[in-house]
Structure 1
């Protein structure tokens, strides 16, 4: 019979029990108590009986304790099967997913798992099932997400240049203000809400196609919305049409929500009513236009998607007044959730760390 392994003596049984009281891992607590019993002079058989395991398992626990101390007895996740793909193959797969398929060469306009599996076979002579490939892609951080439209005329460098020069433009606005004036960063956009609502995803049984109400009428209203993500504030109005007069009224509403003595930098797109000569801009607001055809820079776009998906879609609106009521309800519900505004609206490149 092999000799018993000596337990490291730089921890006392009292210290292990104190560690166990603070530990939330039940299995680790059981291992700590078994080792503490051994340190108190108990036999390995007594430790095994107390923990409900065999002597061999107690021996393994002692080895783990000797190697890593109390942390060495933490529950460890099983490593599972080794990945079928090596690092080079995963890098090429990620490159293909990022660049997307070439319709003329690959015969599809978006990658499916079966298409990527076929590409792996053509490229590396590697056979892999769709389910295994799906697990590999999820482990690499990929998910199947809905794509947002991108204007065909968008210049590829516009977004990068705007982000790079944003801090300098903001600093220039600060220099033109009285010294010590607080600056709030606001974002503004409009959304058309009407009887022609979109249909959102919903939970349903596999193999079925769920239905949702869809109206054919065309009454609509415009929801003007602005948010200050750093403060969790929002200002919105509902208008029957989108023009300079409505925008001027929205600017008045935003100015009302700016902190006393502060100045707001309002970032917005280059719609015609945002730069109209008829537009009345309050003294405590400076407008900063986004690059043309770059709506993805505006977090209010994400806000509209959230509100449509959760509060404004899959509905039948009886009339224009019903649309206005639902818009007001949805916006006021958002205003009551400042953490939601912060979560959706904060941007690292604009607000810093």
Structure 2
């Protein structure tokens, strides 16, 4: 092995040690100190072992030092391969995914990796594997998610106006007797639970499609549920049908749960039994109706999704009594978890409303 020789003379050993003291890269510090030891007369083995490297490694770093000086003693990190898509192309891909495909132009109603592979090749002239398309989407922040249903007649502008003007709507709806009282915002809805139950996602081995029981009979019950997120309080009944008499019973149950001396604003949709002339509204409740086709504004819809996924799905009910018992158990498990009640039911647009 050839002898080591340092040909640079622009830095003395004291200057090298001073530079090592200022360097934050620990690996570069060891290399600088090894060079300083060699300049001070230490043999290659001693200098290498003192700085945690072998003799050949020290020889390689001496060559870098001779060629580039002290800056050559730092690691050089590979920048990696050239990205398949530049920033403008990635932005265009993200836009395409957000907007979704056009059935007539693209021939599909949802994007798959194979569809985007063809689109990327046609649009940008870049050929990549389907798995690579998936990695590109993941890097852009996209995931495969279950879509939420949206009624074709829903009006996003009306929903935004409802949220923005909620406080004013409540103030206009409150009777004179409610002014000056503590105000509670409640949300209400109903859900049908029965033998024709629902399925849900489960963990299973890759490549399999797990099976789960699902009944095909037609007995069911209705959960009438209401929640006050600020107090983490709920009021619910399980009823055999959804009609005005059931709604009257639920209103009476909510009225009993409202805090003493307070007034409740009950936010709910415009179902027929919610607007019936035979509805008996308690004195401590004022009803505020949601815009048409706007279930996303009602957090009780999210409660139904939670209960179905965690308590009511993948179940066969033999009798109506079984349905009622399971509905009661599911709602009570939810109602007895105040943090979950607040987490699911809190809505920003309903905060800070006062009489």
Q: Which runs of 4+ in 1 moved over 6 A?
A: 44-49, 78-82
1:230 equivalent to 2:226? Answer: no
Residue of structure 2 equivalent to 1:60: none
Tell me the TM-score normalized by structure 2. 0.76
Residue 342 of structure 1: how far off its partner (Å)? 1.4
Residue of structure 1 equivalent to 2:112: 112
| 1:101-157: CA deviation from partner (whole Å, max 9, x where unpaired) | 111111111111111121111111122333232233223332211122222222342
1:292 equivalent to 2:278? Answer: no
Aligned to 2:202, the other structure's residue is in SS state coil
Residue of structure 1 equivalent to 2:346: 346
Residue 79 of structure 1: how far off its partner (Å)? 8.8
Residue of structure 1 equivalent to 2:309: 309
Residue of structure 2 equivalent to 1:205: 205
Residue of structure 2 equivalent to 1:100: 100
Distance 2:295 2:166 in 1: 16
Residue 185 of structure 1: how far off its partner (Å)? 1.2
Residue of structure 2 equivalent to 1:334: 334
| 1:1-25: CA deviation from partner (whole Å, max 9, x where unpaired) | 77122546xxxxxxxxxxxxxxxxx
Residue of structure 2 equivalent to 1:159: 159
Higher mean displacement: 306-315 or 179-188:
179-188
Distance 1:349 1:90 in 2: 34
Return closer, same or farther for 1:176/1:137 CA change in 2, 3 Å cut-off.
farther
| 1:308-328: CA deviation from partner (whole Å, max 9, x where unpaired) | 011101011010000000000
Aligned to 1:190, the other structure's residue is in SS state strand
Return closer, same or farther for 1:277/1:121 CA change in 2, 3 Å cut-off.
same
Contact kept, 8 Å, 1:174 with 1:183, in 2: the verdict is: no
Aligned to 1:208, the other structure's residue is in SS state coil
Aligned to 1:157, the other structure's residue is in SS state helix
Alignment coverage as a number of residue pairs = 299
Correspondence list, 1:131-170, <5 A: 131-170=131-170
Residue 95 of structure 1: how far off its partner (Å)? 1.8
Contact kept, 8 Å, 1:227 with 1:300, in 2: the verdict is: yes
Higher mean displacement: 180-189 or 168-177:
168-177
Residue 206 of structure 1: how far off its partner (Å)? 1.7
Aligned to 2:306, the other structure's residue is in SS state helix
Distance 1:47 1:229 in 2: 66
Aligned to 2:292, the other structure's residue is in SS state coil
Higher mean displacement: 89-98 or 113-122:
89-98
Contact kept, 8 Å, 2:178 with 2:263, in 1: the verdict is: no
Aligned Cα RMSD in Å? 3.1
Contact kept, 8 Å, 2:159 with 2:297, in 1: the verdict is: yes
Aligned to 1:93, the other structure's residue is in SS state helix
Residue of structure 2 equivalent to 1:41: none
Distance 1:79 1:244 in 2: 69
Distance 1:243 1:277 in 2: 12
Residue 284 of structure 1: how far off its partner (Å)? 1.0
Residue 276 of structure 1: how far off its partner (Å)? 0.5
- Residue segments in structure 2 that go unaligned for 5+ positions in a row: 1-5, 30-46, 59-77
Distance 1:216 1:175 in 2: 47
Return closer, same or farther for 1:209/1:7 CA change in 2, 3 Å cut-off.
same
Higher relative contact order (CA 8 A, sep 6+): 2
Correspondence list, 1:166-315, <5 A: 166-173=166-173, 176=176, 178-315=178-315
Residue of structure 2 equivalent to 1:40: none
Residue 231 of structure 1: how far off its partner (Å)? 2.1
